Amino acid sequence: MMANSPEVVSLYAVLALLLRWGVSLHSYSGKGKPPMYGDYEAQRHWMEITYQLPVKEWYQNSTNNDLLYWGLDYPPLSAYHSYICGVLANWVNPDFVSLFDSRGYESYKHKFFMRVSVLLADLLVFIPAVFWWCSEVRGQTQNKLNNGFPMALLILAYPGLILIDHGHFQYNSVSIGLMIAALAALIRNSNVIGAIFFTLSVNYKQMELYHALPFFCYLLGMCLRREVLKKLYELVKIGSAVLLTFSVIWLPLIVNDSATHTLVRLFPFNRGPYEDKVANFWCSASVFYKFHRAWGNIGMARVCLCVTAIAVLPSCINLALFPGLKRLHLALVNSSLAFFLFSYHVHEKSILLVALPVALIASQDWWMQSAQVLPNLWFLFITTFSMVPLLVRDGLAIPTVCLSILYPLLCLLVASGFGSPPKNSPFRILMRSNFLVRYATVISLIGYFLLTWAYFTVKPLPRYPDLFPFLISAFSCAHFIPFFLYFNWMQFSLPKEPV
């Protein structure tokens, strides 16, 4: 049976779904932890609010919608998704979305409903987008085996996204899937369709703005390479498509005089520079200097804006001057990693916006046959590790460990073509690497195992209850900053002509 036959592709999708369902059998964010519970309750509450209340009240504080209790803070497309889920939830059991009375609702049937809703989101958006992207990339290369659908497993089996969406409980796969669909459309030279898909992605989760500059610079650069009239025509087409998509999505809120309230909810400046212990620069450096206390929310936001702009602009300017698909994929990594490391109000889960573009790069033939496969896969490993404190707090230690072991084994299986051990296995690549890379990898592995052992076995001093979560975040940040320089170097090392 051919590795890319419909039957085998279906098996890849089934394997991806089985991994997700296995994780979904475990605990979730905030289980049995009143009064706020967690992200599971937040998503359920949004179904309740959007189903029970008129559009005008979705983002506004009222007697029926207390914004201090998981107020809706995602864009309209996410709210519409919550509304659809709310309709289905009410059909299954009205108690799931009963106004006020359903707060903190927990039952086996409700957990089953919620888990299935995430699984359907993957099945309808994320998995088809990944296969579409793989199909388009495969059509651009001559090596049909290594660049075909087997490489989709490296994306679909990435532990971080599975653990957050199907364990912790969120719908990141929808916005990320729409972003991947936008990339597939661009590979197909359907720039307008790509712009529409990315606009949908941003309107589902505002964190996709991490990827907005690379998409904008790529499309701008491609337009500027055309003749004057064609250049203007292409700009008008793409601009009109984006504006029309925004207008359709935001029209219900504009009509109900709720657009301003929505924007305020989407970009809160009163929540601080980061959420919990995050593996970014500001959190890791806070042990030496309390930036937030010294500068305040507004001052911190301004500094974050300036530093992020300095970090992200070189990559984006390079992409605009020399637009190409390989450069775009790397620019997506560089932009999102710059935002994760230096921007304002960063969640630990935001590292997924960096990890998935890296997974796309790692799955492509032009990286899998070179020494770059090792740092790419190691980066993905560290991204999952950076979220370990969050995942363990949610009762997801067992699936986290299992997927962290399974994923590199699956990578080896895919790289070998599901046959004999690959000629370019990560171990052989490491042995052929230079002295600095070998020893940096060994030191990183030792640090990873020591921190993992200490986190699970050593009780921290009462004076420092968050010691190990902070050390894991700082350890991960110590990887992300060199990786940021590495991925920028990879982008600037590409030839100047479009590739």
pLDDT, tens only, 102-119: 899 999 999 999 999 999
pLDDT at 1 over 50: no
Q: How far is CA 5 from CA 10, 11, 13, 131, 433, in A?
A: 9, 10, 13, 12, 36
Give the pLDDT of residue 417: 57
pLDDT at 398 over 90: yes
> What is the pLDDT confidence band of residue 366, given thresholds at 50, 70 and 90?
very low
- The encoded tokens of residue 429 equal 């690549």
Give the pLDDT of residue 20: 95
SS3 labels along the chain = CCCCCHHHHHHHHHHHHHHHHHHHCCCCCCCCCCCCCCHHHHHHHHHHHHHHCCHHHCCCCCCCCCCCCCCCCCCHHHHHHHHHHHHHHHHHCHHHHCCCCCCCCCCHHHHHHHHHHHHHHHHHHHHHHHHHHHHHHHHCCCCCCCCCHHHHHHHHCCHHHHHHHHHHHCCHHHHHHHHHHHHHHHHCCCHHHHHHHHHHHHCCCHHHHHHHHHHHHHHHHHHHCCCHHHHHHHHHHHHHHHHHHHHHHHHHHHHCCCHHHHHHHHCCCCCCCECCCCCCHHHHHCCCCCHHHHHHHHHHHHHHHHHHHHHHHHHHHHHHHCCCHHHHHHHHHHHHHHHHHHCCCECHHHHHHHHHHHHHHHCCHHHHCCCCHHHHHHHHHHHHHHCHHHHHHCCCHHHHHHHHHHHHHHHHHHHCCCCCCCCCCHHHHHHHCCHHHHHHHHHHHHHHHHHHHHHHHCCCCCCCCCHHHHHHHHHHHHHHHHHHHHHHHHHHCCCCCCC
pLDDT tens by residue, 432-442: 555 566 677 78
Q: Which residues are CB-contacts of 123 (< 8 A; sequence separation ≥ 6)?
A: 13, 17
Q: Which residues are CB-contacts of 32 (< 8 A; sequence separation ≥ 6)?
A: 106
- Tell which residue, 78, 46, 75, 49, has the closest CA to residue 62: 49
Residue % of the chain over a pLDDT of 90: 56
| Distance in angstroms (rounded) separating the CA atoms of residues 40 and 111 | 9
Give the pLDDT of residue 256: 87
pLDDT at 230 over 90: no
Give residue 395's region: left, alpha or beta (phi > 0; psi -120 to 50).
left
For the chain, how far is it from start to end, CA to CA, in angstroms?
33
Give the pLDDT of residue 427: 53
Give the pLDDT of residue 144: 45
> What is the pLDDT confidence band of residue 18, given thresholds at 50, 70 and 90?
very high
Per-range mean pLDDT, top range of 49-53, 345-349, 359-363, 443-447: 49-53
pLDDT tens by residue, 376-388: 888 999 999 999 9
- The encoded tokens of residue 295 equal 């500068």
Q: Which residues are CB-contacts of 340 (< 8 A; sequence separation ≥ 6)?
A: 210, 280, 346, 350, 351, 353, 354, 480
Give the pLDDT of residue 426: 54
> What is the pLDDT confidence band of residue 498, given thresholds at 50, 70 and 90?
low
Give the pLDDT of residue 3: 52
- Tell which residue, 306, 313, 316, 317, has the closest CA to residue 342: 306
Average pLDDT over residues 136-155: 67
